[in-house]
Amino acid sequence: MQIGPGISGHRVAVTGVGAVSCAGAGSSRLWEMLCEEKSRGSFNVPNFSTDHLGGAKDLRRLDPFALYALAASDEAWRQSGLEGPLEDAAVIMATGIGGLQSLLAQVDVLKTKGASRVSPFMIPMMMPNAGAAAISMRFGLGGPCETIATACAAGTHAIGYAARLIASGRSPVAVCGGSEAVMTDIALAGFANMTALSTSGLSRPFDRDRDGFVMGEGAGTLVLEQWDHAVRRGAPILAEIVGASSTADAHHITAPDPEARGAIRSMRLALQDAGIGADEIDHVNCHGTSTPLNDQAESEALRSIFGSRLVPVTSNKGHLGHSLAAAGALEAIATVMSLLQQLVPPTAGTTHIDPQVALDVVITAPRKVDLRYAMSNSFGFGGHNGTLIIKSVNQ
């Protein structure tokens, strides 16, 4: 993703955000929940109205991950004030697994009713690109329509890639983000048996007693736009994407590099991309999964970047759980909201910060901070690393 010094070309404005999370449908509900001291206890997406998204028949042919992506994108699109069709507008969405729920349902049909009863819609429902396709068709977006599947870094990678398309002039507008809906028995068993999940059922990022992550689900979408394009039509500009990077650990299929070399390079490249120094970063939205290895490696990387300077950090996974490819997108939205509100939300579930972490983890209550530049990190199985640098438009 690194192309020369900085995201050169058109400036990249954020003109819309949309979210579906355990807080419900809507970015305002997401932000309200993130500012609470404690988790609400459930990381499942509650039922929400889909009447405005299309006919019931068409919506039934979408796996939940695609439906969440469409709902989040609809909110972001309406906030941006854009109107389609737009022939060159891009859709770059991410998912780690895709339509797992639809696949499992049809496997059950196959076993109980036979092959002739398997739905002809199974393939388009389970395919990972179904979310991006649904978005492009709803708004008439005819530019690049692509899906990124780099595990838990995918949402961040999708936003970074979309920013490149905007900056290069390939697309004046891009809808981007990530979606996931795999809270199924088989997925939970797989993660549990690889000892990634918390045995206590608690998400406690950077806590001395952390013992694994808790699964979540949802979707986050941003509308990115060429700055001048947004200004000409009088669109509200929420923030600016000024840096993005992608690196690989080249170390292990699941464990992070204990020396965090890939994560360190990701952050350094993103800073170089933005044309700023680490001393200008005012806040970091961490990956912070609540696993012992991940949190320790990320803290090592942050200390390498910031030295003895303590930047206020948070992890949204205490509130949201870990929604895999949706995580980076939801966290990018949280970062945009932090810049707008000049607040760093607390890390839910964390009560005793691990002294080995040695970070300024915001806990208990939101902290008022003067924010100009913020960093958002995501790291995924396979050694995928992604970093975004987002700038306030009011500072």
- The catalytic residue positions are 152, 287, 322
CA 295 to each of CA 213, 245, 266, 385: distance values in angstroms, whole numbers, following the listed order: 11, 20, 16, 14
Q: Are 198 and 211 in contact (CB under 8 A)?
A: yes
Q: How far is CA 233 from the centre of its chain?
A: 28
Q: What CA–CA distance (Å, rounded) separates 117 from 158? A: 36
| Alpha helix stretches (DSSP H) within 179-260 | 185-193, 227-232
259-272 per-residue burial string, b: 16 or more CB within 10 A, e: under 16: ebbbbbbbbbbbbb
Report the C-alpha gap between 148 and 243 in whole angstroms: 19
- Cα gap 42→82, rounded to integer Å: 34
Strands 360-361 and 312-314, bridge-based pairing:
parallel
Q: How far apart are alpha carbons 268 and 277 in whole angstroms?
A: 9
* 211 Rama class: left (phi>0) / alpha (psi -120 to 50) / beta: alpha
Q: Which amino acid is at 258?
A: P
CB of 241 closer than 8 Å to CB of 355: no
Residue 380 bridge partners (DSSP): 384
Task: Compute the C-alpha angle 278/284/287, nearest 5°.
Answer: 125
Residue 37 to residues 184, 219, 348, 351, 363: CA-CA distances in angstroms? 28, 22, 6, 11, 7
Output the CA–CA distances (angstroms, integers) from residue 357 to 102, 207, 346, 353, 360, in the order listed: 40, 9, 17, 7, 9
**Rg of the chain over CA atoms, in angstroms?**
20
How many other C-beta atoms are found inside a 10 Å radius of the C-beta of residue 118? Answer: 15
In one letter, which amino acid is 380?
G
Element (H, E) at 391: strand 384-392
Reading the block at residue 348, the tokens are 């839910």
